[in-house]
Amino acid sequence: MTVDRSAAFLFMIAGYVAGAIVALIAPSDRIARGATAIGAASGSVAGLVTALAVLATGDRFELVRPDMIAVAGGVAIQLDSLGALFLALVCSVGLFAAVYGFTYTADYDGRRSLRFFGLMFNAFLLGMSLVPCAANVFTFLFAWELMAVASYFLVMTEHESSDARAAGLWYAAMTHFGFVLLLPMFLIMAPAAGATAFVDLRAGASALPPAARSTVFALALAAFGSKAGVVPLHVWLPRAHPAAPSHVSALMSGVMIKLGVYGLLRVTSDFLGTGPAWWGGLVLAVGSLSALGGVLYALTENDLKRLLAYSSVENVGVIFLGIGAALVLQSYGLPALAMVGFGAALLHTVNHACFKTLLFLAAGNVLRGARTRNMEQMGGLIKGMPVTAMAFLIGSAAAAALPPLNGFASEWMVFQALLSGAQIAKPEVAIGSPLAVGVLALTSGLAAATFVKAFGISFLAMPRSDAAAAAREPHWSAWTALGAFAAATVVLGLFAPSAIAAMYRIVESVTATPRNVTGGGGIWLLSAHGVAAGAVPPPVVTKLSPRKGSPSGGTSVKITGSAFTGASGFDVRVADTWGCGRIRQTARMEYTSSAFAEPLRRIFSELYRPTEDFSVSVHPEARLIIRSITYTTRIVPWIEKALYEPVTRGARAIAASVRRLQAGSVHLYLLYIAAALMAALASAWWFE
Amino acid sequence: MSRAIAILFQTLLAAGLAPLVGGFIRWVKARLNGRRGAPPWQPYYDIQKLLGKEAVVSRTASWIFRATPFVVFSTSLVVASFVPLVAAPAGRFIAGDLFAAVYLLLLGTFFLALAGLDTGSPFGGMGASREMTVVALTEPTVALSIVALALNAGSTSFSQIVSRTLAEPAAALGPGHLLAFAALFIVTLAETGRLPVDNPATHLELTMIHEAMVLEYSGPYLALVEWGASLKLFVFLALAVNLFMPWGIAVSLAPIPLAIGLVTFVVKIGVLATAIAVLETRVAKLRLFRVPELLSASFVLALLAVLSTFLAR
């Protein structure tokens, strides 16, 4: 089957643009919602076709229009297999987010305009789809900025809440911080290349002096790292992702931050190629910091969507660990092993996109059902929302890197990549690689605790609020997206070896490494047992599935006992939870989210540095009569405070002094205009 | 074909022997305390009795609570089917990977913790919270012990590690190996709920970890949970003895090596179980917030193990 790729590509753009325009001029909210979903879905399908056609054949797809916007270098599109992988991710999440969004945004009907939202949603998808296709600086920056601006407006959807406005401000500031770093990065590369097309940049990068190459690398790491949300540039992420509507959060966490990973891979492994070992070391350090920092803050978070956002920080850290290991191995002349690292990073990118989309969409259902993001007011949701609960459970187990789900496969690969560091006989590697292994293991252990908390507190036991007790499943169309990503999470786990092989093919086409991974020649740890991760899951599945299957027959727990008793052949009596003789059980006796995290919070209190506020108010006459006791404790990430407070304070001071110009007097403004004109003329004369 | 039979045999062996280990430890402890104690095979009676009883399930519990015993038992059983017990023939016989074993056991713990929360009982939540805390803190040590072993063998697969240690007996007495063993031993105590981290005999709620988490289970469900827990202990002990002292293990599937392998395996497990029993009569349970110190000590041991392996090469 041959696909006309340029037609598919143009259809993708047309779909998004049409969706945006029709949504904007739609006569009613319902039509606007429909147009948004149909435009986004058809664009995504076309994009998916384009991406899969490139991935299947492996040859690039090009579309260069130098005449369009010629001043800036024209529009150039080129899709190689690395880009196609990311395009496929964007479009598959985009497709289901669009379907999900159709009913999800119905809550906004009549409350706020969905026309502008539809425009921005499609623009966001267009921007994200173009980023991996861009083949020159102008196209790339255009797509990057389109993505940033559109997502800013999406974060601001619920702009009446001050949280959303603060989130928008942080997001706008951090995304432009990244953009500002991208410009000098391209500026350093462009003169040597003589042109702005990526092909020329690639050719010119090898001619750059080492210092310039390292500067380019550092700028790329900071710029793309801020988009990917690595610590300490992650500050926007836990604010912006929860503020957006849930399907937008899924897009942001699932794929947008991955485009930061794409950018880093494009610049380092594609343009720059092999660099000094400290590049990899730096990426490993950043990755460790993000993985551990992200999961530690996720653990103590009580807001379900913020917890998921912090978990994204953690997973980006895991991806960076893979990239870092690969860069180190590459610089020591072990390209075949470096491939394990790059493959691990790509696989985790794909896997995280699947399970995080699943989790965010399930959280969206919870948000609509229980009307809160605070886990302390949830509980018992598994009874009213069995499908959402199942989806969230699968996502949680994958996020906790448990076999046989996909999160395990890619973390296993990252472990193997880090272990390969043993091939390098250098003391710094000898100390660094085991430490990174320790960090990754601690991260996955803490992730397991985090997701036991997230699922257990939100979905199990008794409801902690009336809204949680009344929560029901949303419209069935929301299940299609959940089903698709749950299936992808399971399938990618079961068929991990095929997925790994596919990632290797992509890495190979980018880094031009000769392929001997499957042959096993000289490949440590992946020898006789092939990719052993894949060898293990099958027996697990055959043994688990009949058993796991039987209780799922008892999912409708309302017919308690009977369904399950018959199946397993023993008597089950339903009774109260044992409670030391108290009369009845209430939700107040349950363990809370804060209580669950308390032991780890105490153990890592040096890192959290919680603030505690304890006040007792007593009767004015008698100090022994206590009226109330309040205890509040908060964890304010002190790293953020230490790093960003001076910056924001400085920015405020500058803004305050600039404000003095705005005196409100028309005469003064006329003077400014005159002065500006004089200055412009004077400078024109000077340069003449 | 012989491979399938061998895996089946090994799984049955593990499932059959596992309760005996727990019973044996209890019996030795009783003797050391000067009591007569229940016979080592008491756990079999317990399981048999529990299997015949009715199960009581909390009104608030969901299907997670009912599914968990099966998940716990089957994950332990799957791990037991591919770790080296009596035999570790070379080649593709056992496609077992250490990471896979550790994470499969973690899957069981994940579900147990969820089940602890599911009933809404404060004990269950407390146990779940503490168990996940301990498990999260043991993970780095487990991973680094694996690294220390993998560095010698060049692989994280069981049969490679075992055959490498058999080929180079000197390496097994090297500092890297011994330190990794010490680290893994501490982790075994923590992961399987033994003293000084958790007290398997306690029923005082403030000190319970594992027991608090499974407090609501009764009847056949409890039988499966207990059996799964004893399998987990069995698997960890088997890993400790076979990865660090694999001598006597059968390297082919011929009858005589298999018989020798079986006997040496039982003896080795018995020695290690006795060591645990002696240890449990000598130490007191640590306060919960002192446990991290023990676990960070084990992490340092594992890190030293890795570093010394690097230096020794």
**Do B11 and B76 contact (CB within 8 A), yes or no?**
no
ipTM, 2 decimals? 0.94
- On whether any CB of chain A is under 8 Å from the CB of B266, the answer is no
Decide if A449 and B216 are in contact by the 8 Å CB cutoff.
Answer: no
Q: Which of residues 141-180 of B touch A (CB under 8 A)?
A: 142-144, 147, 150-151, 154-157, 160
Q: What is the pLDDT of residue A562?
A: 38
Q: What is d(CA A312, CA A234) in angstroms, rounded to the nearest whole number?
A: 10
- pTM metric for this prediction: 0.90
Round to whole Å and give the CA distance between A95 and A379. Answer: 31
Residue B232: which of B121, B101, B49, B52 has the closest Cα? Answer: B101
Which of A77, A93, A35 lies closest to A488, judged by CA? A93
Nearest CA in chain B to A533: B100
Beta bridge partners of A611: A634
Bridge partners, A614 (sequence order): A631
Residue B1 binned pLDDT confidence (cut-offs 50, 70, 90): low
CA distance B42 to chain A (A): 23
B 186-225: CB under 8 A from A? 215-216, 219-220
- pLDDT over 50 at A183, yes or no: yes
- Which residues of chain B make contact with A462, given a CB cutoff of 8 A? 60, 120
pLDDT for res B164: 79
Chain segment A389-408, per-residue pLDDT in tens: 999 999 999 999 998 899 99
B11 in contact with chain A, both atoms CB, cutoff 8 A? no
CB contact (8 A) between residue A529 and residue B97: yes
Query: How many Å lie between the alpha carbon of A243 and the closest alpha carbon of chain B?
Result: 28
Q: What pLDDT is attached to residue A513?
A: 60
pLDDT higher than threshold 70 for residue A519: no
Q: How close, in Å, is residue A89 to chain B by CA atoms?
A: 27
For residue B308, report the phi and psi dihedrals to the nearest 5 degrees.
-70, -30
Place B246 in a pLDDT band, splitting at 50, 70 and 90: confident
**A553, pLDDT greater than 80:** no
Report the DSSP beta bridge partners of residue A64. Answer: A76
- Which has the minimum average pLDDT: A65-69, A253-257, B89-93? B89-93
B150, A533: Cβ pair inside 8 Å? no
Judged on CB neighbours under 10 Å (0-12, 13-18, 19+), A622 is exposed
At residue A556, the pLDDT reads: 30
**Chain B, window 116-135: residues with a beta carbon less than 8 angstroms from a chain A beta carbon:** 116-122, 124-126, 128-130, 132-133, 135
Q: Is B307 in contact with A456 (Cβ distance < 8 A)? A: no
CB contact under 8 A, A551 and B132: no
Q: Report which secondary-structure segment, H or E, holds A433.
A: helix A427-459
pLDDT above 70 covers a percentage of chain B that reads 95
**pLDDT score of A568 more than 80:** no
What is the distance between the alpha carbons of residues A144 and A260, in angstroms, rounded to a whole number? 10
Mean local confidence (pLDDT), A202-212: 87
Identity of the residue in A438, A547, A595 whose CB atom sits nearest the CB atom of B129: A595
Please give the DSSP secondary-structure letter assigned to residue B87. B
Count A/B contacts: CB-CB distance under 8 Å: 277
CB burial of residue B244 (10 Å; 0-12, 13-18, 19+):
buried
Closest approach of chain A CAs to the CA of B40, in angstroms?
A: 27
Average of per-residue pLDDT across A103-128: 86
- The answer to whether residue A565 scores a pLDDT higher than 80 is no
CB contact under 8 A, A445 and B51: no
Whole-angstrom Cα distance, residue A268 to residue A320? Answer: 12
Residues A186-205, mean pLDDT to the nearest whole number = 85
Q: With an 8 Å Cβ cutoff, are B132 and A449 in contact?
A: yes
Q: Could you tell me the pLDDT band of residue B110, with boundaries at 50, 70 and 90?
A: very high
Domain limits, chain B: 2-312
CA–CA separation, A256 vs A285, rounded Å?
23
CA of A684: how far to CAs of A300, A676, A681, A687, A688, in Å? 59, 12, 5, 5, 6
**Could you tell me which chain A residue has the CA closest to the CA of B64?**
A551
Give me the residue from A448, A457, A554 closest to B110, CB to CB.
A448
Residue A154 predicted with pLDDT over 50: yes
| CA-based nearest distance B69→chain A, Å | 10
Which of A415, A574, A598 has its CB closest to that of B99?
A: A415
* Span A125-152, average pLDDT: 94
Q: Do B125 and A591 touch (CB under 8 A)?
A: yes
Mean pLDDT is highest, among A655-669, B143-157, B198-212, for A655-669
B99 to chain A, any CB pair closer than 8 A? The answer is yes
Please tell me the least confidently modeled range out of A63-72, A314-323, A406-415. Answer: A63-72
Q: Per the CB < 8 Å rule, is A589 touching B122?
A: yes
Minimal C-alpha gap between A606 and chain B (Å): 14
Q: Is B89 on the interface with A (CB under 8 A)?
A: no
Residue A449 C-alpha, separation from nearest chain B C-alpha, in angstroms: 5
The tens digit of pLDDT for each residue in B42-80 reads: 999 999 999 999 999 988 889 999 999 999 999 999 888
Question: Average pLDDT, stretch B266-289?
Answer: 90
| Chain A residue numbers touching B142 (CB-CB < 8 A) | 441
- Per-residue pLDDT averaged across A492-498, rounded? 87
Q: Print burial letters for B93-107: b (CB count within 10 Å at least 16), e (below 16).
A: bbbbbbbbbbbbbbb
Tokens of A233: 């540039």
Partner-chain contact B121 A579, CB within 8 Å: yes
A609: phi then psi, degrees, rounded to nearest 5: 45, 65
Mean pLDDT, to the nearest integer, of B78-102? Answer: 73
Q: Binning pLDDT at 50, 70 and 90, where does residue A541 land?
A: very low
pLDDT at A567: 47
Collect all residues of chain B within an 8 Å Cβ-Cβ radius of residue A424: none
pLDDT given at position B93: 43
> Hey, is the C-beta of B100 within 8 angstroms of any chain A C-beta?
yes
Residues of A in contact with B106 (CB under 8 A): 400, 402, 445, 448
Mean pLDDT of B148-163: 78
Q: Which residues pair with residue A616 across a beta bridge? A: A629
Alpha carbon A498 to chain centroid distance?
Answer: 24
Q: Does B295 touch chain A (CB under 8 A)?
A: no
Listed range (A83-92, A266-275, A429-438, B200-209) with the worst mean pLDDT? B200-209
**What are the pLDDT digits (tens) for A434-446?**
899 999 999 999 9
Q: Is the Cβ pair B107, A380 closer than 8 Å?
A: no
CA atoms within 13 A on the CB side of B93: 26
Please tell me the distance in Å from B35's CA to the nearest CA on chain A. 31
pLDDT the model gives residue A551: 33
Average pLDDT, chain A: 85
Task: Map residue A27 onto helix, strand or coil.
Answer: coil
Say what percent of chain A tops pLDDT 90.
47
Q: Do A539 and B82 touch (CB under 8 A)?
A: yes
CA distances from A142 to A25, A49, A183 (A): 25, 23, 12
Cα A653 to Cα A648: distance, rounded to the nearest angstrom: 9
